[in-house]
Structure 1
Amino acid sequence: MRTESGTSIVPANRVAWTPAGFTHQHRAHSDTEMRIVFLPASLARLVPDRPAVFLVSGLAREILLTLTGPRSHDRAASARLRRVLVDELHEANEQPLQLPEPRDDRLRAVARILHEQPADNSSLAELGRAVGAGARTLSRLFRDELGMTFYEWRTQVRIHHALVLLADGHDTTRVAHACGWANPSGFIEAFASIIGTTPGRYRAGRVGEVRRR
């Protein structure tokens, strides 16, 4: 999901919240079920006033499936379920898998290289020479503009690409090498620390989204 804040991946164990007025785009990879629930303004004010991604609880997931499933509900029952859903989101931890969009032209050039070649293991100094900027300058820009180090950002890029490849059915070893890890164990550790599960257990599944009316 892309908004003005950047690009977020929303795997099956996350739920995305998009307030009214935010332009956004979706792109699905492999077979995907997207469940969308709209919230009235009275409930929307209880969750963040900006796009957010939450770790979805089992209860919240079942509510999303129930509200968007084939079984019909009367308005009162649906309203009660939405209130419980908002309570769950209010208590949930935000766990975005987000790549903030760089604004500086030099960072944009680095980003293009790594998006096109996520397995590129060039150092920041080597990338700097390719885009005409020093490593110190780029390091400062990553921290000031994107709020993370270059290596943290590159790991996020690689995990984003890994999620797409896994959704397309590629095995862990192939994905690890395609995304720049020399061995699968390092990839599994990095993946689990960010996604919360191992690549082997990860499966392309339902993506939940909540929107304000």
Structure 2
Amino acid sequence: MNKFSHESLSPELIHLLGHDERAPAHTHDLGHLVYPATGVLSLVTSDGSWIAPSNRVVWVPADFEHQHRAHGAADMRVVFLPAQMAAALVDRPAVLATTPLATEAMLALTGPGRRTKASTDRLRLVILDELTATGEQPLHLPEPRDDRLLAVTKLVEEDLANPVSLAELGRQVGASERTLTRLFQQETGMTVRQWRAELRVHRALLLLADGLSVYDTAAECGWANPGSFITAFTSLVGMSPGRYQHSLRG
């Protein structure tokens, strides 16, 4: 694991990542916001994964070990927050919905122009005001710890197009449906159905970023028809699959 001081980063705080490029596990001494101006970014930790398209921002607290992965060519903007400002946000990673004002402030902060500390802090406060008003977004996929749950999640991930009942999954991993239901709630805070729905949207974000059509993405992720896929995707991501793909091309 690498430990980075924020002073060692480029002054623009812009990182261009190629498709499927990954950053090694590392921490920073300040909490920071990560915004994909283009592309899609995954944040991976031991507690699970968070995913952010261009209408979302990932919050990473100070000293929290994490990795980044780009899906599509990603223009990653990083905004560091002093400890007193970071206290306004949660003490764990989270995905937050951005706003046009917050987006412009982040682009301004990470642009080439030099700013005074007072100017920088004003823009940081604008971003915080906007992001705390929109709140945390449901684009976090928790990682269970129990070996049986890990086996179940692997089976689900390997074949999203063919849903298998929890009872059948339990038979394959040697646990009852009741036990798996209880463990899933305890370890992830989700029901199995909620976790699977989140996983399907995560997978859809990546497949769409790779250029797969909306119709084929729906089938690949196990939706019976494109209409139900569009509804589920829009409710979690905040935009339709077609609009999301268009934003990536932009």
Q: State whether structure 2 residue 156 is matched by structure 1 residue 114.
A: yes
Please say which of residues 125-134 and 38-47 is displaced more in the overlay.
38-47
Aligned partner of 1:85 in structure 2 is 127
Superposition map of 1:46-195 within 5 A: 46-195=88-237
Q: State whether structure 2 residue 58 is matched by structure 1 residue 16.
A: yes
Matches of 2:75 and 2:161, distance apart in 1: 29
Regions of 4+ moved over 3 Å = none
Q: State whether structure 2 residue 233 is matched by structure 1 residue 202.
A: no
Unaligned segments of structure 1, at least 5 residues: 207-213
Higher strand share: 2
CA contact (8 A) 2:184 2:191 kept: yes
Aligned AA for 2:112? P
Matches of 1:186 and 1:47, distance apart in 2: 34
Q: State whether structure 2 residue 39 is matched by structure 1 residue 2.
A: no
- Pairwise CA RMSD: 1.6
Residue 207 of structure 2 aligns to a residue in which SS? helix
Unaligned segments of structure 2, at least 5 residues: 1-42
Matches of 2:229 and 2:131, distance apart in 1: 30
TM-score between the two structures when normalised by the length of structure 1 = 0.91
CA contact (8 A) 2:156 2:163 kept: no
Matches of 2:151 and 2:162, distance apart in 1: 14
Matches of 2:166 and 2:212, distance apart in 1: 29
Residue 30 of structure 1 aligns to a residue in which SS? strand
CA contact (8 A) 1:8 1:96 kept: no
CA contact (8 A) 2:94 2:140 kept: no
The number of residues matched between the two structures is: 206
TM-score between the two structures when normalised by the length of structure 2 = 0.78
Matches of 2:83 and 2:150, distance apart in 1: 37
CA contact (8 A) 2:79 2:106 kept: yes
Distance change >3 Å, CA 15–CA 194, structure 1 → 2: same
CA contact (8 A) 1:60 1:88 kept: yes
Aligned AA for 1:14? R
Aligned AA for 1:91? A
Matches of 2:133 and 2:234, distance apart in 1: 23
Matches of 2:196 and 2:128, distance apart in 1: 33
CA contact (8 A) 2:138 2:236 kept: no
Percent sequence identity over aligned pairs: 54
Residue 168 of structure 2 aligns to a residue in which SS? helix
